[in-house]
Structure 1
Amino acid sequence: MIGFGAATAVEPAGEGRYGAVLDAGYLIGDALNGGYLMAVLGRAAVAASPHAHPVSTAVNFHRVAVPGPAEVIVEPRKEGRTAATARVTLVQDGRPAADALITTATLDTTAEPAWSGAEPTGLPPLEECTAARPPSGSSGFADQVDMRFDPATMGWLDGRPSGRPEVRAWFRLRDGHPPDAYVLALAVDALPPVVLNLGARGWAPTVELTWHMRAVPAPGRLALHGSGRVLTGGWFDEDVEVWDSTGRLVAQSRQLARAPRAPRAAERL
């Protein structure tokens, strides 16, 4: 298993172009996790920018990305003293797999919030949470992350969904990579789909995801709070807040996704 830094690395390949080798360790089923892809896109955006952090990312996922070689194309749109914006495209087999508009800036690591809402409640202490590990011998996304879930939001695993579109968990990487901008990109798309607690089941492909980096995270575990607002016509939204070990909000996201099917009444009996 290679480390997260190496798995998300990009290499210059000509003006505005970067090469990457997408790592199979971030597969969920047959598709690479969207947060992992956003981390790769973010690294390319920062590499082409005078600024250090991807503070705003809006990405559309066009098709499944798979392990292996890929190209990242960075097309600058605006470069200023405090921020720069670029269109960043992930290409595999000559076709775009994801397009993102990424704004980079350099965050002040010493800045204190002028105002911040209260940290969400509901995530129990780590020792009261449920670890989730893949079956012995398997590989994939769950092998890369150490997540401890709030048991109150995991009833869907036992066929007892809570009826509330919520999932909460503690998060860190198993390889010890400290939380940074690219780990935040992974974290905002790490939770199981919140609609599983509404009785849906199966793959829920993300169509569009926007996330904001609000601060440089402190060392330690991250707290993930996921919720949804509307499930209708086979579409749902999911909001995720990421809080660091000091209790600071460090990332926010919202995604629009296709809902997996809900079981028929006969299947629930």
Structure 2
Amino acid sequence: MSRFGRATAIERVGDGRYAIDLDAGFAIGAALNGGYLMAVLDRAAVDATPHQHPISTAATFLRVAKAGPAEILVDTRKTGRTAATSRVSLVQNEQVAVEALITTGTLDPAAEPDWAGEPPVPELPPVEKCTGFQPVTEERERGFADRVDMRFDPATMGWLDGQPMGRPELRAWFRLPDGEDADAYALALAVDALPPVALNLGAKGWAPTVELTWHMRAVPAPGPLALHGTGRLLTGGWFDEEVEVWDSAGRLVAQSRQIARVGRGG
């Protein structure tokens, strides 16, 4: 099993009840990444229903989830031939940290779109011309940055040098670091893997997600994923972020939209 598979592995301990030991490696600061938490919830929802994929996940982040033991509760509200819908809660220290409404279904990996609108797959420079994080050393690990293999389009990374581009946009290549091909749960991670697009508007520090909805549109082909994050409005301390995920075959495989608070760090 891959490192990501182990980090999201759940154990059924009762009817609609699962146990997990949340992995500290997927933390950004003290808080676990929202995409990682959604992957965990999606695994439980799929296990509790007769379908293979999390088609729609609408997650509300109520409290910061931290590394360590947690419980997942799945309350299946409806089960049909093509879809099932469940209310799924992540509970830690007897408090709900994340609550989600998840619809599962089964996608045909060979299915082709009946119609696909614009824009096409975002144009990214070749991987070798993109900006990556420095490799981990035995003395230093950086949490989430070491659990994903990401290469960022340099044109969207001016915020790192104090020169934000003035437009809420980020683009990057995404893979799991052990070379494992992406599945549904890696897509859940990918839609929340980019730094906040508000950084390119001059925002700083942690930007906590309040609500995030993502949709799985297709089973991804083997190879890297292309991520394109954008936003429409920053106002009153809130900003929105939309992410599209494209696979190596040029297909749109996941979409997300979230509302988040503007970072206030230095």
TM class by shorter chain equals over 0.9
Match of 2:120 in 1: 119
Match of 2:160 in 1: 157
Match of 1:145 in 2: 148
Distance in 2 of aligned mates of 1:170 and 1:194:
15
Contact 2:89 2:96 (C-alpha < 8 Å) held by counterparts: yes
Contact 2:61 2:98 (C-alpha < 8 Å) held by counterparts: yes
Contact 1:5 1:177 (C-alpha < 8 Å) held by counterparts: no
Task: Deviation per CA, 1:169-228: give whole Å up to 9, x if none.
Answer: 000011222200000000000000000000010000000000000000011000000000
Distance in 2 of aligned mates of 1:55 and 1:37:
16
* 1:9-158 mapped onto 2 (5 Å cutoff): 9-117=9-117, 118-133=119-134, 136=137, 137-158=140-161
Q: TM-score, normalised by structure 2?
A: 0.96
Q: TM-score, normalised by structure 1?
A: 0.95
For structure 1, the 5+ residue unaligned runs are 264-269
- Report the count of equivalent residues: 263
Distance in 1 of aligned mates of 2:22 and 2:70:
7
Aligned-pair Cα RMSD in Å: 1.5
* 1:221-260 mapped onto 2 (5 Å cutoff): 221-260=224-263
Contact 2:55 2:217 (C-alpha < 8 Å) held by counterparts: yes
Residue type matched to 1:88 in 2?
A: V
Match of 1:266 in 2: none
Contact 1:132 1:149 (C-alpha < 8 Å) held by counterparts: no
Which piece of structure 1 moves more, 74-83 or 138-147?
A: 138-147
Secondary structure of the residue aligned to 1:37 is helix
Match of 1:197 in 2: 200
Distance in 1 of aligned mates of 2:122 and 2:178:
28
Secondary structure of the residue aligned to 2:188 is helix
Contact 1:133 1:143 (C-alpha < 8 Å) held by counterparts: no
For structure 2, the 5+ residue unaligned runs are none
Residue identity over aligned pairs, in percent, reads 71
